[in-house]
Structure 1
């Protein structure tokens, strides 16, 4: 019998977990006892509760090798996860008795510790919902708002504290490759990993000033650290984060972009780049952190290699078909890291049209189909005045819709679009663009950036436009504040497309839902023509 866990072996841990799976180990009704294993924890499910035990491991990036370290990790896990899911995380409990006859709570010396949680059905996990085809796309919008609001409230790292500086950023990146090499003997996989490593090293050199600036600007915060679909749950109909990283301050005190990149990567790896683009756009819109696009692909590759490393660690615990499947999973993540170096060629598009023409709702299909970064005038105009997208501007002295406010808004849209393009992303600017001079400004911007330019002309019958605007105002909660009177002014003032505009324009009739599969070939033709004009080959995408 082992009464001290200071040097507990993995085998002892397995025996303890096995013996906990008995009803008499719990001080409450313990129906449907089961156990879920991860590479670093064991979760014993019993009745209405779940007990999460740390495995006695020292993997370099975490150290659970002693009882005290495991207890401290449990306490930290409770603190961190109660920020987002206090209903799930209840307390830390001692396990007493012996390995052969353990007891949750009870009298005597603690032989182990566990985080006590509310039990939930595995079907509540967003990863499970996606696998079953039961994850509504609009849930990603709500999730993005939840994540952005969580980041906004999180503690901020200051320069000099050791978090978010260039060494802290790139150290874990290098560690992923080192630990993968130590655990994998597949030459082809290692060659691919070496490609990803060379690209990551080159990106690190180029992006060092950006990392330093983002730290100084407060973008490094106490984040979740492990933000993938397996750590997201639906509670009372709303998506929530749980199971954040407790074992390493350095892995959670990170750039918010690194946090977001994990979920974007996870959706890409699961074959849903459309949902990845939707989530990323919704998070950018809510947070306003379009500057994160400069470092996003670096972090996407990093997150893919995190999962590759975890798969490599699991290889040593498996054999036979299970090991072969795990090796294939590792290959997939490494391939995704390599793919970040082959980004799509950027372009600049504008979504023009009066209020109610469907610029936002109907361009969503393009965002998801081609990974376009969309910036919206309705949102950015309000952000310039310190307003949330859904907030009313009625209390702003002088209003936010005058000529000077509009000039500032279009200038900001141009700045954000240029930043996205220079970071290697295609950009779509969503605004009315009633006047030729406004449209010409963005065509000129595309020429200066040497990227193709496309003008989407969104429209619908005027009766439809009026009905949509009236319904939107009655419902409320939208960033647009245009009513029917504003629409009438727009209809009277809009200037038709003419001259060179017609050569780069695509009409988008939104009287019915837009079929982007039908429109994309015409878009690709325009992008190809624009790419050739700038001496590029291979098209615009």
Structure 2
């Protein structure tokens, strides 16, 4: 009789495979083993039952292998190849080829370079802004096309959103090294409950508006890779439907949290803003902080589970530290900055979007751009001529107003990136700031007129910018603009983009106003 306890050890022999293998490398997580063998990788599920994941029988593991193939086929069909059984050969040794009675199952995958993973690229300084932008486009398109939960589904309501958070807290162990942890967890538990109760209507609205979808479920940097110059997402959650049938903003929260945990707030907010520009889901900001807490406590729980399995004292210390670090990050997600709305004020070509891009990563902040919202409101290029009509402009600013309101209500600094050459438009946002109890800052962004004309002409010639404002619109702006008033001076910071801008100092000045 074969002893299953020896399975993984025996499968580390090259003879267990029907293709060239020099040596087998083992990667282990709290729920699976991955065997790297030649050109392929074989993922085998551990026979564990943690409640949120149940691999306790061979049948359950096979069913989850099937789900893993289906789900990852949506995003990474070039990686996920087939399910292969582990069988015993004539010497009663396991192998991952041939026919016979299965003693285990593995998902066979095309192996890739670990150096191409986002987390490895970040460590090596090779993860660039363009990778983050491409990721945002990939995730937004996936969310647009994936299945949407129906009204009768159990997913996405306040109770369904609360249960995973409560589950996380239950699995976080006490610590003699961090005696404050027990009280910290209790306080966060109560704070999360308050969020569920106070925002229950918002969570229900998220479901009724189709924002609960069959997502990836585990969208951290270790599950993203660059293959053939394309961003590919892999390793969807297959073992628990409730962990992938989620609000799309819960999905985004995992990536944002992971980047923040790695001290890359700049990339976290670049990703968040790029995704929001793609989808227009600014309403989701009202639940994002709750999901940031949820995602950080997922990591704390996983560290706690590893701690319970680990025998090595040094490894236990590391897992205990990680658990505490993620709890601290979860706590930070509940700490909202003072409400603040930042307006850009300037002519076309003055550099408003360049300035706001730097600031959204540094403050950090959520940005709404009139150029993007104008096209979202009037997407038909046949109607391009009316995008800059007074009616279209009013609709665009109303859309921006709604997004800014959601950002402030969600606990984020908001940047409204538009010309704001009309005093009426500025007063609308001043009224909004007063209503929301937010500070208002106006960035007066300028450059000499000849520089403006050069920039606008060059932008139009390149044809790559979302802005359609050409020289004729610039000339109209120069004639019709309403200058900032004396009564607005106390809220104004001047920014001359014809010179080098110290964005760190600019961010500090914004925080001080």
TM-score category (smaller protein):
over 0.9
Mapped to 2, the partners of 1:91 and 1:241 lie a distance apart of: 18
Q: What value does the CA root-mean-square deviation take over the aligned residues?
A: 1.8
Q: Secondary structure at the match of 2:52?
A: coil
Q: Deviations over 1:324-378 (max 9, x none)?
A: 0110000000111111222111111111212221111221121111121110111
> What is the Cα deviation at residue 521 of structure 1?
3.2
Q: Secondary structure at the match of 1:417?
A: helix
Equivalent in the alignment of 1:155: 147
* Kept in 2: contact 1:184–1:312 (CA 8 A): no
- 1:189 aligned onto 2:181: yes
Mapped to 2, the partners of 1:2 and 1:147 lie a distance apart of: 44
2:279 to 284, 287, 297: 287
Equivalent in the alignment of 1:532: none
Equivalent in the alignment of 1:36: 27
- 1:516 aligned onto 2:503: yes
Q: Deviations over 1:45-97 (max 9, x none)?
A: 11111111111111100111111111111111111111111111111111111
Q: Deviations over 1:422-449 (max 9, x none)?
A: 2221111011112222222212221222
Equivalent in the alignment of 1:463: 450
> What is the Cα deviation at residue 506 of structure 1?
0.8
Q: Deviations over 1:128-176 (max 9, x none)?
A: 1112222112321221111111111110001221111222111111111
2:58 to 67, 81, 98: 67
* Kept in 2: contact 1:219–1:255 (CA 8 A): yes
> What is the Cα deviation at residue 410 of structure 1?
1.1
Equivalent in the alignment of 2:103: 111
- 1:487 aligned onto 2:474: yes
- 1:381 aligned onto 2:381: no
- The number of equivalent residue pairs is 511
2:308 to 316, 319, 343: 316
Structure 1 runs not aligned, ≥5 long? 388-392, 527-541
Equivalent in the alignment of 1:453: 440
Equivalent in the alignment of 2:359: 366
Mapped to 2, the partners of 1:32 and 1:466 lie a distance apart of: 63
Equivalent in the alignment of 2:2: 2
- 1:421 aligned onto 2:418: no
- The ranges of structure 1 where at least 4 consecutive aligned residues each deviate by more than 6 angstroms after the TM superposition are 182-185
* Kept in 1: contact 2:175–2:181 (CA 8 A): no
Q: Secondary structure at the match of 2:180?
A: helix
Structure 2 runs not aligned, ≥5 long? none
2:348 to 336, 350, 355: 355
Mapped to 2, the partners of 1:62 and 1:220 lie a distance apart of: 21
> What is the Cα deviation at residue 294 of structure 1?
0.8
> What is the Cα deviation at residue 397 of structure 1?
7.7
Equivalent in the alignment of 2:331: 338
**Stretch deviating more after TM superposition (375-384 or 232-241):** 232-241
Mapped to 1, the partners of 2:66 and 2:354 lie a distance apart of: 44
> What is the Cα deviation at residue 518 of structure 1?
2.2
Mapped to 2, the partners of 1:217 and 1:137 lie a distance apart of: 31
Equivalent in the alignment of 2:290: 298
2:82 to 91, 96, 101: 91
Mapped to 2, the partners of 1:100 and 1:290 lie a distance apart of: 59
> What is the Cα deviation at residue 184 of structure 1?
8.8
Mapped to 1, the partners of 2:250 and 2:410 lie a distance apart of: 16
> What is the Cα deviation at residue 420 of structure 1?
1.4
Equivalent in the alignment of 1:126: 118
1:32 to 1:507, Cα distance in 2 relative to 1, 3 A: farther
Equivalent in the alignment of 2:420: 433
Mapped to 2, the partners of 1:368 and 1:142 lie a distance apart of: 17
Q: Secondary structure at the match of 2:291?
A: helix
Mapped to 1, the partners of 2:177 and 2:448 lie a distance apart of: 63
Mapped to 2, the partners of 1:521 and 1:425 lie a distance apart of: 17
* Kept in 2: contact 1:349–1:428 (CA 8 A): yes
Q: Secondary structure at the match of 1:215?
A: helix
> What is the Cα deviation at residue 247 of structure 1?
0.2
1:80 to 25, 46, 71: 71
Equivalent in the alignment of 2:16: 25
